[in-house]
Structure 1
């Protein structure tokens, strides 16, 4: 445990880059922090590093590289030795050498240690010195990246890779009546979860279910729903409370078709070093979310990139 310090920055692909950029800056409240080639770098106001989201113009939507920061150079070396198959590449601007590899499902990961801390220009210098950037007071004004939910052909192999190779802790799971694991929530930190795998019903590898950003409170989630209404952002489901992990949530789609979750930063922490995974049964999941809202059908069918004949 804890050879990985945290989930770092994520590359999101979009076929409509200008519209997606408007969503990430005007609706979510992220701040632009440079660009390179077909990518724009964006950051949440309390991220100590330079990049939270790398938004890349692409033929389709979906996720590119998911970056993780190692706890220290020795942890990086130990993890690289365990991962085995992969290759060193230059990191994104402000990041050192990055070891690039894939999970069993083909999702691309990058692992690094060296990084530059964000230095805010005068226009966004915070009043409090223990804050990375001034509160933007724009749109939802999300605080940080919270987690990523991948779609996987087989949940178990991806879960085991995160646990056995990268040192993640499994906190909660959905276990079907036949014993198949249909969803797995894992953490590298003391949060309830950093990375999730849920089964892709289409048996297509390498797709994204959603990425999530944290706000300070439930009130921010409610306000985010009102802002979405005013800005014409599509609301898929919520606001409501998950049974699994007890996260207060809102799900929206950004213009490129990627699903985005907004959740409260005060969700549960897992502090027990000997935590045992909580297994949820089919019958328990059939009851819906914590307060009875049934899981919307698109939650099981929508992923990115979209499949041919099933546009986002």
Structure 2
């Protein structure tokens, strides 16, 4: 596996969500195709890292990972087919990449793996002065640098952990162990980042839901500026800026106009270089203390997910 490639987010308020992700959040629009917008942060090398899809509801469409080689793709496909998890099979090309192999986790979240990709090729007006940057830094919106991670909800985090280890060969870098013995959350990586996907326990009564998607900024001051921009544009700020204890990120959570949770985070460039890294385990008592610093975690952070559960929100 190479890295998290892109996330498909569903919206029932397409025009408003697209305005948020471009004008306010500061992603760049690569193309519109059918009912979908393909977007990327300014230093994402691929054609898109966010696929925004018009839909009857909100939530997650699929999660896409790029593998490290054609041979790695075949090995992963063989492992998935032998695993017993639900296989969808090969799907045709999208604007940003070639054929992909799709499969589901036990909770209905759809995943796909691909190798052939389309690199973003900037036009003259979007070409950076630096040859090692994917495109020019935008001069409007929040403008995060790159896709960082996403968080999915499940009723059984242990079952989700087994899926990630079996199908994606992921490592668990940190986890929460509840007093009753269950896992309350796991953070996964397929490379040297501290994590590119998290799974936390569903407390809102839903199934196969989406918690949030996160793009990374260069510095903490970008998060503070983002809060002011969200305020000026009438975007619901759910919580932050604060600092997480788990993974140590400085963060801001908002709800985009359709209700999907979106995060901006600065991780302080934490990498895991130790080949023998041991999973860091947090206790329920440690997590109840809240964030590393800042306000206590608010209730909606544990209960709000998309799509909404009828009668629950």
TM-score under structure 1 length normalisation? 0.96
Structure 2 gaps of 5+ residues are 82-86
- Partner of 2:2: helix, strand, or coil? strand
Distance 1:219 1:138 in 2: 16
- Partner of 2:128: helix, strand, or coil? coil
Task: Give CA-to-partner distance per residue, 1:71-127, whole Å, 9 cap, x none.
Answer: 000000000000113300113113111001111211011100001211111121111
Q: Please name the residue that 1:46 is paired with.
A: 43
Q: Please name the residue that 2:207 is paired with.
A: 205
Partners of 2:8 and 2:62 within 8 A in 1: yes
Partners of 2:250 and 2:267 within 8 A in 1: no
Partners of 2:104 and 2:110 within 8 A in 1: yes
Q: After TM superposition, list the pairs within 5 Å mapping 1:22-41 onto structure 2.
A: 22-41=19-38
Q: Please name the residue that 2:63 is paired with.
A: 66
Structure 1 gaps of 5+ residues are none
Number of residue pairs matched by the alignment: 308
Distance 1:170 1:29 in 2: 31
Distance 1:263 1:130 in 2: 23
Q: Please name the residue that 2:52 is paired with.
A: 55
Once the two structures are TM-superposed, the CA of residue 292 in structure 1 deviates from its matched residue by 5.2
Deviates more, 1:300-309 or 1:260-269: 260-269
Once the two structures are TM-superposed, the CA of residue 266 in structure 1 deviates from its matched residue by 2.6
Regions of 4+ moved over 6 Å: none
Partners of 1:173 and 1:182 within 8 A in 2: yes
Task: Give CA-to-partner distance per residue, 1:240-289, whole Å, 9 cap, x none.
Answer: 10000110000001001000010015342111111111111111111110
Task: Give CA-to-partner distance per residue, 1:203-223, whole Å, 9 cap, x none.
Answer: 532100101010000000011
Partners of 1:246 and 1:267 within 8 A in 2: no
Q: Please name the residue that 1:227 is paired with.
A: 229
Instruction: Tell me if 1:286 matches 2:283.
Output: no
Pick from 78, 81, 103 the counterpart of residue 81 of structure 1: 78
TM-score under structure 2 length normalisation? 0.96
Distance 1:57 1:86 in 2: 22
Over the aligned positions, Cα root-mean-square deviation in angstroms equals 1.1
Distance 1:266 1:139 in 2: 22
Q: Please name the residue that 1:143 is paired with.
A: 145
Q: After TM superposition, list the pairs within 5 Å mapping 1:138-217 onto structure 2.
A: 138-217=140-219
- Partner of 2:275: helix, strand, or coil? coil
